[in-house]
Homo-oligomer: A and B are copies of this chain.
Amino acid sequence: MSTIEDVARLAGLSRTTVSRVINNHPYVSEDKKKRVKFAMNTLGFVPNSAARRLRKQRTETVAVLVPRVTNPFFSRLIESLEIFASDHKYKLIICQTRYLPEKELEYLELLSTKQVDGIILCSLQNKWSIVEPYLQHGPIVMCNEYTDEAHIPMVKFNQAEGAYVATKHLLEQGHRRLLFCSGSDKSSMIVQHRKKGFLHAVSEHKEQVDSVEFVEDAYDMEDGCRVFRDLLDTKENPTAIFAGGDEVAAGIILEAKRHQWSIPEQLAVIGFDNQLLSEIMEPTITTVCQPVDQMAKKVIELMMEKIRTKTYKKQEVYEFELELMIKGSTVKHTTVLA
């Protein structure tokens, strides 16, 4: 078993420098860090992690649970969380639950087995009462998704307001028949709050509105294509769709174009997320912009504070506002390629 002295000797550096590198002190040059790490690895020296963790009781690792890493909203959120965690010398490990309750529990066990110091939950697949007991092993912070029952820190977007402003924009274009798409609304407060905002706008224009329909389980582009095809079977199809996501909106538009419909003249579509996709599509997609970086920064700050203070079983809610971005899929000739 090699010692810290062996590492210092091989690296040609002082014991203090080695110790600084091990403890992530600032003011150690990159070159010295590399030499120490190389020496540690050559000797098979584990930075007395057992002793260190016992002393600090920390893994300096946080896990983030997301349903799907291929969803650009989540991959952007992860990227941002990782950058802010890194500023605090924390590693961020990412776990994909695929919307499965049992996978969520498996990854929550990283907390009880002390593989991570805290967990960031970006969706909630189990009832809160099932998740809550894990809190005894460390802090959980909710990010994007939320639930009134949880007495933990939560950072979210004002979904109701975002949906309200988007729907109001559709109604101001004179639409009378509206379709609201969402994922499953049983589990997600996001969907419920968006629906609330949507209905609020509708109620303000109730003389104008002839029909309002709802479609569930719309998550990706393929679902969007299906939404459009289903709409062909209806007698009086909606003229405006709140798609709930840019991928769903893109699917609706692609399929509509395949059927020679013109967008927005025959059908107005509004997305959500302001993904790159909304810029690339022709027409570009009117969407709702979510300040992902601001949310990620707040989540990491809260997590660091909770790991430090070890008091985190109190409800704290932080909310960021959303912004409507009007593009070509709802208003003709608003954006020109130039």
Contacts and interface: CB of A to CB of B under 8 A. Distances in A.
Interface of A: 30, 33-34, 37-38, 41-42, 44, 46-47, 49, 59, 61, 63, 68-70, 72, 75-76, 78-79, 82-83, 86, 91-96, 98, 102-103, 105-107, 109-110, 112-115, 130, 133-134, 136-137, 221, 250, 254, 257-258, 276-277, 280-282, 337-338
Contact of A133 (B33, B42, B276): B42
B93 A95 contact: yes
A113 B46 contact: yes
B337 A258 contact: yes
Contacts of A44: 133, 136-137
A207 B250 CA distance: 45
Nearest to A260: B337
Which of A69, A98, A103 gathers most chain B CB within 10 Å? A69
Contacts of A337: 257-258
A102 B114 CA distance: 24
Given A91-B110, A102-B33, A106-B91, A75 B69 contact: yes
Contacts of A46: 112-113, 137
- Ranked nearest first, the 8 interchain pairs of A and B with the lowest CB-CB distance are A41-B133, A94-B94, A93-B93, A49-B113, A70-B75, A82-B96, A69-B75, A258-B337
Tell me which of A47, A82, A114 has the highest count of chain B C-beta atoms within 10 A of its own C-beta: A82
A254 B61 CA distance: 40
A107 B86 CA distance: 11
A63 to B, nearest CB: 7
A65 B133 CA distance: 31
Given A63-B93, A280-B281, 11 more contacts: A33-B102, A34-B130, A41-B130, A47-B112, A49-B114, A59-B115, A69-B69, A69-B79, A92-B95, A94-B94, A221-B276
Residue among A83, A109, A110 facing the most chain B CB atoms (10 A cut-off): A109
A115 B79 contact: no
Given A102-B30, A113-B49, A107 B136 contact: no
Contacts of A95: 91-94
